[in-house]
């Protein structure tokens, strides 16, 4: 639960108050198979602009999983920018996040951001070459001898001995 105490903000209207925290959130937020959301680290600047609260900062997701292309294990922090207004619960605001009294529960907003903003695939590096579809060699580590350019029906026919 990402819960923030606003007492200090109420005393400093319009000023930024720093907030940091580490949380364990549900692995199910990740779009990657067999991946774990080890930790979520947030660093926020929170400002109270009566009656609403603005939170701006970064959500760091520490993810443990496997590269989509080469299947190598990955342990990495993915930082997502975050900026959201929280409305006082007595306001008429219907879509949007709310808080009441001095307690602001940002769990849903943080989870929503993770679901919406994480990249669709997990890669060990942007230009990962993946595995050879024929022999399974990790092409980031070495080149295999498979000739993939001839992988078609015609080449199979050509190799038959008459």
Q: Which is nearer to Zn ion, 111 or 144 (CB)?
A: 144
146 binds Zn ion, rule: CB under 5 A: yes
Q: Does residue 35 belong to the site contacting Zn ion (CB under 5 A)? A: no
CB of 38 to Zn ion, least distance (A): 19
Q: Is the Cβ–Cβ distance between 66 and 73 less than 8 Å?
A: yes
Looking at 69, 114, 118, 122, which residue binds Zn ion (CB under 5 A)?
Answer: 69
Contacting Zn ion (CB under 5 A), which of 11, 134, 150, 151?
A: 134
**122 near 32, Cβ under 8 Å?**
yes
Minimum distance between the CB of residue 121 and Zn ion, rounded to whole angstroms?
10
Least Å from the CB of residue 124 to Zn ion: 3
Using CB under 5 A as the binding rule, whether residue 150 contacts Zn ion is answered as no
For Zn ion, which stretch binds (CB under 5 A), given 19-27, 58-66, 83-91, 143-151? 143-151
Minimum CB distance to Zn ion, residue 5 (Å): 42
Which positions touch Zn ion (CB under 5 A)?
A: 67, 69-70, 124, 128, 132, 134-135, 137, 144, 146
């Amino acid at each position: 639960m990402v819960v923030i105490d606003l007492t200090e903000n109420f005393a400093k209207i319009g000023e930024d108050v720093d907030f940091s925290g580490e949380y364990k959130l549900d692995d199910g937020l990740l779009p990657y198979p067999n991946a774990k959301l080890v930790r979520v680290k947030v660093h926020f600047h929170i400002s109270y602009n009566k009656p609403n609260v603005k939170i701006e900062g970064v959500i760091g997701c520490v993810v443990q999983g496997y590269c989509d292309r080469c299947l190598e294990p990955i342990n990495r922090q993915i930082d997502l920018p975050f900026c959201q207004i929280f409305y006082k619960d007595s306001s008429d605001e219907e879509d949007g996040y709310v808080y009441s009294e001095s307690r602001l529960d940002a769990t849903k907003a943080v989870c929503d951001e993770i679901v919406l903003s994480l990249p669709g695939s997990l890669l060990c590096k942007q230009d990962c070459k993946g595995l050879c579809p024929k022999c399974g060699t990790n092409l980031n580590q070495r080149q295999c001898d498979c000739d993939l350019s001839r992988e078609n029906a015609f080449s199979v026919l050509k190799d038959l001995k008459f």
